[in-house]
Amino acid sequence: MVNQRADVGWQSSKSDSSGVSNSGESSKESSRCSTPVLDADRTDRLRDKMKRRIESGDHWFSLEFFPPRTASGAVNLISRFDRMGSGGPLFIDVTWHPAGDPGSDKETSSMMIASTAVNYCGLESVLHLTCCNQTKEKITAHLNKAKRLGLKNIMALRGDPIGEDWVEEDGGFNYATDLVKHIRCEFDDYFDICVAGYPTGHPEAESYDNDLRHLKEKVDAGAHFIVTQLFFRAETFLRFVKNCRAIGITCPILPGIFPIQGYHSLRQLVKLSKLEVPEEIMQVIEPIKDNDAAIRSYGIQQAVEMCKVLLASGEVPGLHFYTLNREVATIEVLRQLGLWAEDPRRPLPWAVSAHPKRKVEDVRPIFWASRPKSYIYRTQDWDDFPNGRWGNSSSPAFGELTDYYLFYLKSKSPKEALLQMWGEELMNEGSVYEVFTNYITGQTNPSGHKVMCLPWNDDPLAPETNLLKDELEKVNRRGILTINSQPNINGKPSSDPIVGWGPAGGYVFQKAYLEFFTSSENVTALLQVLKKYEPRVNYHIVNVQGKNITNAHEMQPNAVTWGIFPGREIIQPTVVDPVSFMYWKDEAFALWIEQWAKLYEDESPSRMIIQYIHDNYFLVNLVDNDFPLDSCLWQVIEDMFALLDSPRETQEEGSQS
């Protein structure tokens, strides 16, 4: 039995225009914490994270990206955030392009890309902000918006002129120092501020020494750390750091690393940054300039050797990589340096958000396990988030999900790829069963394509789900269309590479859980079978119209994942909440139409098959509460099929018992 504190319940609350919480309690009272936050990195400011890493001698890396030009490019970039975020960057930063409406709500804007990285990818993010073509009022508006979106870090830059020469803006700023001062004046200490350094001096500076003095002015105005322009020799950066320290600059200085990836990209970047490429590098690159693979291989080794010298110097706490929105070269450099650390142990069993107001959140319903971005989107207007336990949530107030087109909610796969995976043409419901089965098994479909995602799971199977692969294959083949599952776990170490989460030295527990769509005929038999498994098995069964059949308490959540850690209270981060399930039901059914049926023409046989499943199938979740024993859920399904396969008289007897 999980110990629960009766004085720490939770309800989501949305403030009305008077500022009074709808839950009837003050925000201070409703956000009481029963448990310490698991990971200090979720609450610390970026400057504090840097300080802690410097004191421990733990080197870090960070990554720079630029906003894409197209909506599909935005989808791809968010996928790259997820992949590159798995390596453990301390932060990412997103550049600001004055000509691209960077502060707007467009999916390709700098503001939206940085906001998505924070809120939906859980990445500490730094938003670039430039003085170019902006008034003081416009800059203030951008900063207010950034703060509202959960962004806490700004890279303050003068920026490159839109034309050949810098044009002063009436009522604006001409120097990054003035921008730093403005941020400090208007927002006090809210933002951590980064500024740019130039190891060979800014190309427009009167002299190298004069540029160093300007850099110190930026730091003295309130900047917390420096990221430098790219360079090609380690000694260039180390001399720059020595000179900075000599004039009293004491903040962290991060070297900007550019792994050379191609001849033309190198020429373009050098042109923009007005740098000279050392002769020894050009002598290697010129003969192979038409061989991108050879140049990339050289660029990786050149970056690795330079970074080794930097890290060994004792002057470099971390490395900042200019990725050009690519991942292969940067990841390979980091791997060779031993900095790429895909730690399988997660702080919580689900993907966290880095928004400041969600920093204490440590409980969520299990239903959105494979759609964390959707959950974050639907709860973005909550004022408080559950911490310690979910509590009795009579009105969670989930936002409606109608914006399936949003780039961070769309499938990463284009329509053509989805049709290849899910079928150019469906023949019957069995065709759908085959898609689900191929997703589970990893086998190719009849057209020779692997099914790498489903509308409810946009990624390949998680390692944890692979533990159930054989059983899942059997039931999906027979029309138990699973969209979420977890095995029972009884005291596995928190360091377990598959099911572990939380701090080291703990133990994790899970109840077996199974969630699936199935036909009304199956549900009729299932309900008969479930009678003999009560109270061991709790269930919720609902159709698209909202007909809800359950043996669980209508308001009481059921903890299905929990952990015990040294010196801490029990954490229960995943629950089956009956009220939230009805909100999830709407989304789960809608995905049949929004992401699958709409691939086909109106009135086409394929579309009608998906529409029929949407209209007639039920969504079911099952929880086996006896977690120390082998899961009985597979036996429940087997008994259901046995009843269906038995003579009708037997079924009728079962329904009367």
Q: How buried is 254 (Cβ within 10 angstroms: 0-12 exposed, 13-18 middle, 19+ buried)? A: buried
- E-assigned strands of 453-557? 481-486, 489-493, 507-510, 512-518, 537-543, 548-550
Give me the catalytic one of 29, 55, 64, 425.
Answer: 64
**Sequence-ordered list of residues with C-beta below 8 angstroms from that of 333, at least 6 positions apart, any chain:** 257, 259, 300, 303, 304, 307, 321
CA distances from 235 to 200, 239, 241 (A): 11, 6, 10
Q: Alpha helix locations (H) across 442-577? A: 463-466, 469-477, 520-530
Instruction: Tell me the C-alpha distance between 198 and 206, whole Å.
Output: 13
Cβ–Cβ under 8 Å, residues 345 and 494:
yes
Q: How buried is 124 (Cβ within 10 angstroms: 0-12 exposed, 13-18 middle, 19+ buried)? A: buried
Cβ–Cβ under 8 Å, residues 291 and 223:
no
Beta bridge partners of 484: 515
The order of strands in the sheet holding 481-486 is 481-486, 512-518, 618-624, 537-543, 548-550
- Find the length of the chain: 657
Cβ–Cβ under 8 Å, residues 24 and 395:
no
The DSSP secondary-structure symbol of 278 reads P
Tokens read off for 569? 């209270």
Instruction: Tell me the C-alpha distance between 546 and 245, whole Å.
Output: 67
**Sequence-ordered list of residues with C-beta below 8 angstroms from that of 188, at least 6 positions apart, any chain:** none
Instruction: Tell me the C-alpha distance between 399 and 196, whole Å.
Output: 40
Tell me whether residue 594 is one of the annotated catalytic residues.
Answer: no
**Integer Rg of the chain from CA:** 28
**Sequence-ordered list of residues with C-beta below 8 angstroms from that of 431, at least 6 positions apart, any chain:** 423, 609
Plot region of 88 (φ>0 → left; ψ -120 to 50 → alpha; else → beta): left
Tokens read off for 506? 């703990």
Helices 633-645 and 648-656 cross at an angle (nearest 10°) of 130
Question: What φ, ψ does residue 575 adopt, rounded to 5°?
Answer: -135, 160
Catalytic residues: 64
